[in-house]
Amino acid sequence: MTLDRFYPIFDTPAWIARMLPLGVRLVQLRIKDRPDDKLRTMIAESQALCRQHGAVLVVNDYWQAAIDLGCDWLHLGQEDLDEADLPAIRKAGLKLGVSTHDDDELERVLAIDPDYVALGPVYPTILKKMKWHQQGLPRVTEWKARVGDIPLVAIGGMSVERAQGAFDAGADIVSAVTDITLNADPEARVRDWIEVTR
């Protein structure tokens, strides 16, 4: 299955419900700091919405909940990778995407045969404090050469205007968060994203 080239990330099912009718086909649910029961409800709701619209839901971090709720895709950061039960994740048939920021992390991730590799932040990002400065487009090209046929996701400071540059540098997929959620008209922004990525 080929993943869509546009990969927005949202923190609530409400955002997902709002954007799926516009044609979003690949979306990540990234929830922080919620009690477990609330978390599972949010994942289940997002999964149902995505199935209804024929879209792919990627659950960030909560691998046990993703297994229990019969999800299809999981995204792990490097810290999550330390605690995750990879054999259980694979046994459940979950496909796995992983964040990378430097050479050591990339080597570590390639050793577990991921279903996509994310590189970030390509540009400066306001979303979270990171110890890595912007990677830049040459790094995207280098990463693509190293991951080969594995889909490469460019993330961090991405915008509609920067998407084509990331694709030209070798990214297969471009991921966006604040470019949509902080936009005055998120729906219009998503339509623009779909236009430049398809």
**For this structure, is 91 an active site residue?**
no
**For this structure, is 99 an active site residue?**
yes
**For this structure, is 175 an active site residue?**
no
Measured in whole angstroms, the distance separating CA 136 from the mean position of its chain's CA atoms is 18
Residue 95: enclosing H or E segment and its boundaries?
Answer: strand 95-100
Residue 96: enclosing H or E segment and its boundaries?
Answer: strand 95-100
Point out the catalytic residue in the list 46, 95, 99, 189: 99
Q: What are phi and psi of 52, to 5 degrees?
A: -60, -35
Residue 148 Cα distances to 76, 83, 90, angstroms: 20, 27, 21
Q: Which residues pair with 100 in a beta bridge?
A: 119
Point out the catalytic residue in the list 32, 128, 129, 131: 128
Residues with active-site annotation: 30, 99, 128
